[in-house]
Amino acid sequence: MSKNIESHLSEDREFKPSKEFSKKARISSMAQYKRMYKESIEKPATFWAREAKELQWSKQWTKVLDWKAPYAKWFVGGKTNICVNCVDRHVEEGRGTKAAIIWEGEPGDKRTLTYQQLQREVCRFANVLQANGVKSKDRVLIYMPMTPEASIAMLACARIGAVHSIVFGGFSAESIKDRLEDSKAVAVITADGGWRRGGVIDLKANVDDALKGDKTVKKVIVLKRTENEVKMKRGRDVWWHEEAAKVPATHKARAFDSEHPLFILYTSGSTGKPKGILHTTGGYMISTYTTCKYIFDMRDDDVYWCTADVGWITGHSYITYGPMLNGVTQVMYEGAPNFPDFSRFWQIVEEYGVTIFYTAPTAIRAFIKAGDELVEKHDLSSLRLLGTVGEPINPEAWMWYYDKIGGGRCPIVDTWWQTETGAIMLSPLPGCTPIKPGTATLPFFGVDAAILDETGQECKANEGGRLVIRQPWPSMLRTIYGDKKRYKDTYWSDYSGMYTAGDGARRDKKGNFWIVGRLDDVLNVSGHRLGTAEVESALVSHKAVAEAAVVGRPHDIKGQAVVAFVSLRAGVESSDALLKEVRDHVGKIIGAIAKPDDVYFTQALPKTRSGKIMRRLLKELVATGKATGNMTTLEDINVVRNLEALVQKK
Ligand code: 6R9
């Protein structure tokens, strides 16, 4: 990370969009951006009402914003249906035969759904949900592979007012169980399996494990995808295709209140328990719509591809909702970027003529490592705009993306945002903002971002501080599901009335935001958030483990790798077999992405005299091989010296 900061400080390369790009873009000059930004901050009601009117509402709002910090209501009194806006609206307006989803499965199977076909599938599935007893405001857990049905399931929930809660397909049965307990979902939508690197992930078996002892789930709807054998529990489990065959392909949607809950998405924080971030309908709809329109500059003839999974917020906002609100054609891909090899993405870009491509820095670094030949054998000339998200992008990766993938002609939008913000907050506008490798540049419309020091003063240019948002925005989280106190304490207590993002950042003289990374104990592994406390609690749930401390270390491809220091219970001998067992245990409790890259068994952890683990020393140790800095509060310096020897030996 520190290497990144240094290269950021000396970064003077700057790129401007070509005249040709600007001419066609929605926002084509900085003057236009500044004018609109000013209005969005000074007169948010005027600005957002104009945007909201581009979509369909059954009843207009009476007030754009009702703000009693930290609670916001947007488009108060308005009624709408986000699914109708994503799907039916396009059919009604004559875009029914346009492709909505061009899908490719990992084994190479292909499917295209037009907006009209999508409408029929969504309507059918809305009927299936209702026939299976799902009602408005019921929570529905979705655990699916990346098939069109993942988006269909989300849209069908939204259509009937049910609240979806997606659990990423790479998470474990235990993770599903925790989320079920917290959300009290009444139904689960899953599949027999999903393809990943040539193998089948047995999704249904994980759901079965998670449901042992569960009392709230009444129905499990299972999509047939991989045809592997699954157990179906009588009365509880039903097949998607069998249920769909029983119901009509039309469904009359009703409108819901603008503040009707839309979804819960769990994300890691600084405690062991993930937070259920709650988003509601109207504001989220308008933010995802406008960010796609202005930042991805989506047009009728674009072929857009976001490589995320719907299990993450990026898949919610920039696969399902935002692109479909804009009626764009998008590519969806089921599997891994390196199956059968690292040219898979470029083959897909070439085959479908992708024009807008949105991915994560960790993927870009993996492509660089795999070698340029894999890129060069494909024609990528259809691309006109590139995007990144998930973590700070190192300038080297940015330049490679710009030159090798974008051919030096495609602007890159480096988009900073979070599960909590619902939509992109900081990003260049591709037709006007001068871009530099490594900065998410400027705030989007309505985003009053600033960097503050500990006393609440705004930092001077190039000084590091905490990133905050000083005014509410339409797609902001409304609460942590079932935990108002945690919502207030986590996001709104550092500075009165302001949202704290949890990221460190600085602004350069031109006002560009440079994100440094998380300030809390949250790691960013391959663009995914992972709480160190979460991994620690998984580790200590293993019978051999007495205590554990987890920190991140810089990693070439993942950004950060997970390092665990583990002390064993008395009488337990350390061994390679135990090491594997402990790693696998974390995989079983959370999911494969949380498996520690390095595990050090140690007699003791470095603690202060008051018993606090000194993570600062551990972080330094794994990054540099040595612990320096202030150790006066340390209980026993020998513990650190022993760990140094262990780490250096590796
Ligand atoms: C959308 C998403 C949020 C955290 C965020 C920050 C990091 C995301 C970034 C970025 C630098 C970017 N982050 N985008 N850092 N530049 N363009 O990733 O949501 O999974 O909730 O993670 O990711 O640290 O706080 P989420």
Q: Is 252:133 a contact under the CB 8 Å cutoff?
A: no
- Domains of the chain, with CATH numbers? 5-81+279-515 (3.40.50.12780), 115-254 (3.40.50.980), 523-649 (3.30.300.30)
Task: Write the burial class of residue 187 (CB in 10 Å: 0-12 exposed, 13-18 middle, 19+ buried).
Answer: buried
- What is the β-pairing status of strands 110-114 and 139-143? unpaired
Instruction: Take atom 22 of ligand 1 and give the residue whose Cα is closest.
Output: 418
Which segment of 221-235, 300-314, 622-636 scores lowest on mean pLDDT? 622-636
Q: 393 to each of 243, 526, 629, how far by Cα in Å?
A: 45, 11, 28
**Of all residues in the chain, what percent are helix, strand and coil, respectively (each to 5)?**
35, 25, 40
Spatial separation of the C-alpha atoms in residues 138 and 67, rounded to whole Å: 27
Helix crossing, 173-183 with 203-210: angle to 10°? 50
Q: Could you tell me the distance, in angstroms and rounded to a whole number, from the CA of residue 307 to the centre of ligand 1?
A: 15
Q: What is the pLDDT of residues 360-372, one digit of tens each?
A: 999 999 999 999 9
- For residue 499, the model assigns a pLDDT of 98
Q: Is 139 annotated as a binding residue?
A: no
Mutate which of 265, 284, 417, 560 for ligand 1? The one with the most ligand atoms within 8 Å of its CB, which is: 417
> How far apart are the CA of 350 and the centre of ligand 1, in A?
28
596 labelled as ligand-binding?
Answer: no
**Side chain identity, residue 194:** G
C-alpha of 167 from chain center: 12
- Residue 495's CB: how many other CB atoms inside 10 A? 16
Q: pTM of the full predicted structure?
A: 0.95
Q: Which residues pair with 414 in a beta bridge?
A: 388
| 64 membership: H or E segment, kind and range | strand 63-68
Mutate to test the pocket of ligand 1, among 321, 401, 418 (most ligand atoms within 8 A of CB): 418
What residue owns the CA closest to ligand 1's atom 5?
418
Average pLDDT over residues 385-414: 96
pLDDT reported for residue 9: 57
Spatial CA neighbour of 73 closest among 586, 502, 474, 565: 474
Q: What is the pLDDT of residues 467-513, one digit of tens each?
A: 999 999 999 999 999 999 999 999 999 999 999 999 999 999 999 99
**Closest atom, ligand 1, to C-alpha of 312:** 20
Please tell me the distance between residue 443's alpha carbon and the centre of ligand 1 in angstroms: 15
Going by their DSSP bridges, the two strands 187-191 and 110-114 should be labelled as: unpaired
Calculated CA dihedral for residues 618, 621, 624, 630, nearest 10 degrees: 90
First to last CA, the chain: 21
| Closest to 524 measured CA to CA, from 357, 361, 365 | 361
Cross-strand partners of 426: 416, 443
Q: What is the pLDDT of residue 522?
A: 94
Beta bridge partners, 443, equal: 426
Rounded Cα distance, 578 and 256, in Å:
53
Cα distances (Å, whole numbers) of residue 279 to 141, 265, 284, 478: 15, 8, 7, 6
- What pairs with residue 549 in β-bridges? 565
Distance from the CA of 466 to the center of ligand 1, in angstroms? 14
Tell me the per-residue pLDDT of 49-105, one tens digit each, with 9 for 90 and over: 999 999 999 999 999 999 999 999 999 999 999 999 999 999 999 999 999 999 999
Distance CA 647, CA 636 (A): 18
Tokens of 160: 């009937």
Q: Report how far residue 85's alpha carbon sits from residue 115's, in angstroms, rounded to the nearest whole number.
A: 12
**What is the per-residue pLDDT across 141-185, written as a single tens digit (0 to 9) for each?**
999 999 999 999 999 999 999 999 999 999 999 999 999 999 999
What percentage of the chain reaches a pLDDT higher than 90?
94
CA of 604 to the centre of ligand 1 (A): 34
If you ran DSSP here, which 8-state letter would residue 463 be given? Answer: -
Closest residue CA from atom 1 of ligand 1: 418
Instruction: With cut-offs at 50, 70 and 90, classify the pLDDT of residue 7.
Output: low
Q: Where are the alpha helices (DSSP H) in 161-300?
A: 173-183, 203-210, 240-244, 281-295
- Give the pLDDT band of residue 8 (cuts 50, 70, 90): low
Q: pLDDT tens-digit profile of 547-564? A: 999 999 999 999 999 999
Q: Whose CA is nearest to atom 7 of ligand 1?
A: 391
The set of residues, in sequence order, having a beta carbon less than 8 Å from that of 339 and lying 6+ positions away, is 106, 196, 197, 198
21-44 pLDDT, tens digit each: 999 999 999 999 999 999 999 999
- What per-residue confidence (pLDDT) applies to 4? 47
Q: Residue 446 pLDDT more than 60?
A: yes
Which ligand 1 atom sits closest to the C-alpha of 417? 1
| Residue 576, pLDDT above cutoff 90 | yes
Give the bridge partners for 601, in sequence order: 566
Inform me whether the pLDDT recorded for 3 exceeds 50.
no
Q: Assess contact for 60 and 136: CB atoms under 8 A.
A: no
The pLDDT tens digits of the residues spanning 91-132 come to 999 999 999 999 999 999 999 999 999 999 999 999 999 999
The whole-angstrom separation of Cα 260 and Cα 217 is 22
- C-alpha 297 – ligand 1 centre gap (Å): 21
Contacts of 344 (CB under 8 A, 6+ apart): 333, 335, 336, 337, 338
Mutate to test the pocket of ligand 1, among 4, 425, 503 (most ligand atoms within 8 A of CB): 503
Of 290, 282, 321, nearest in space to 75 by CA: 282
- Cβ-based neighbour number of residue 17 at 10 Å: 22
pLDDT digits 0-9 by tens, 412-428: 999 999 999 999 999 99
The answer to whether 545 is a known ligand-binding residue is yes
User: For residue 168, how far is its CA from the centre of ligand 1 (angstroms)?
Assistant: 17
Atom of ligand 1 nearest to the CA of 420: 21
pLDDT value of residue 2: 40
pLDDT the model gives residue 1:
37
CA dihedral 293, 401, 346, 198 (to 10 degrees): -100
Tell me the average pLDDT of the chain: 96
Distances (CA, A) of 472 to 71, 295, 421, 468: 9, 20, 10, 11
| Residues within 6 Å of ligand 1 by CB | 267, 312-314, 389-392, 414-419, 440, 501-503, 515, 517-518, 524, 529
CA dist 599 → 536, 562, 591 (Å): 12, 9, 17
Q: How far apart are CA 319 and CA 389, in angstroms?
A: 13
Quick one: which of 515, 504, 548, 497 has its CA closest to 443?
A: 515
Q: What is the mean pLDDT of residues 335-342?
A: 94
pLDDT value of residue 580 = 97
For residue 641, pLDDT over 80 is answered with yes
Q: How many CB atoms lie within 10 A of CB 120?
A: 17
Model confidence at 451: pLDDT above 70: yes
Distance 517 CA to ligand 1 centre (A): 8
Burial bucket for residue 22 (CB in 10 Å: 0-12, 13-18, 19+): middle
